[in-house]
Amino acid sequence: MKIFLDTADIEQIEALLDTGMIDGVTTNPSLIAKSGGDIKQTIAKICDLVDGPVSAEVTATDIDTMMAEAEVLSAIAPQVAVKVPLTKEGLIVCRRLSRRDIMVNVTLCFSAGQALLAAKAGASFISPFVGRLDDLGADGMNLIADICTIYDHYDFDTQILVASARNPQHVVDAALLGADVITLPPAIIDQLYKHPLTDKGLAAFLEDWKKTGQSIL
Ligand code: E4P
């Protein structure tokens, strides 16, 4: 399973590059606003830093303006995946862009029926928001399971990109279901490294080592 970083914060991206875990980046208008940067400069900088797909979202809702914005965003670098909302207009834009081999990430997916339409529209990625469904008392991972089953039935090429992840268990559940990608805020990546027994075990090893008086170097 690929791991994308869900942030538009350049410093956060730079800090995690050395881990070798980052296969791409996703942004959205809220994350761009939070970063305080200009969208075109920010996406260009992220593309310079990261090798994989970098999602940049349109901010219009009508077809013509979304297409015009998509032209600007996709011209930044070939690795840009233009993010469009899961609306009828968004899927028309998705179809037009995918026919020109421009990557499209269809975002704000909350049902399997929506995911089916996105795949038929030629989306490179579908982004179901698991955390926002969990927030409402639903089980976001059930949606991922349904989309996996449907896409398998018809051999769709669209990659399932688990979005709105809230905790490390979402990562494990997504991987168990065979999702293609999960996008994670930096804090969740940091949490993934952690286990109390790792900390406890390391402390005990170091304590015992100190008693030997030895040094490897
Ligand atoms: C990424 O593509 C999504 O926009 C993001 O994961 C949404 O996360 P949130 O529900 O925590 O805002």
pLDDT tens sequence across 131-182:
999 999 999 999 999 999 999 999 999 999 999 999 999 999 999 999 999 9
Enter the DSSP assignment of 124.
S
- pLDDT tens digit sequence for 107-137: 999 999 999 999 999 999 999 999 999 999 9
pTM for the full predicted model? 0.97
Distance between CA atoms of residues 122 and 175, nearest Å = 23
Q: Where are the beta strands (DSSP E) in 33-167?
A: 54-57, 80-85, 104-109, 125-128, 159-162
Other beta carbons less than 10 A from residue 190's beta carbon: 14
Question: Which CATH superfamily, name and number, covers 2-191?
Answer: Aldolase class I (3.20.20.70)
17-67: pLDDT as tens digits: 999 999 999 999 999 999 999 999 999 999 999 999 999 999 999 999 999
Contact 50, 13 (CB under 8 A): yes
Please give the Cα distance from 34 to 62 (Å, whole number): 25
- Find out whether the beta carbon of 107 lies less than 6 Å from any atom of ligand 1: yes
For the chain, the structural domain boundaries read: 2-191
To the query of whether residue 88 is one of the catalytic residues in this protein, the response is no
Q: Which atom of ligand 1 is nearest to the CA of 105?
A: 2
d(CA 87, CA 66): 12
Q: Is the CB of 129 under 6 A from ligand 1?
A: yes
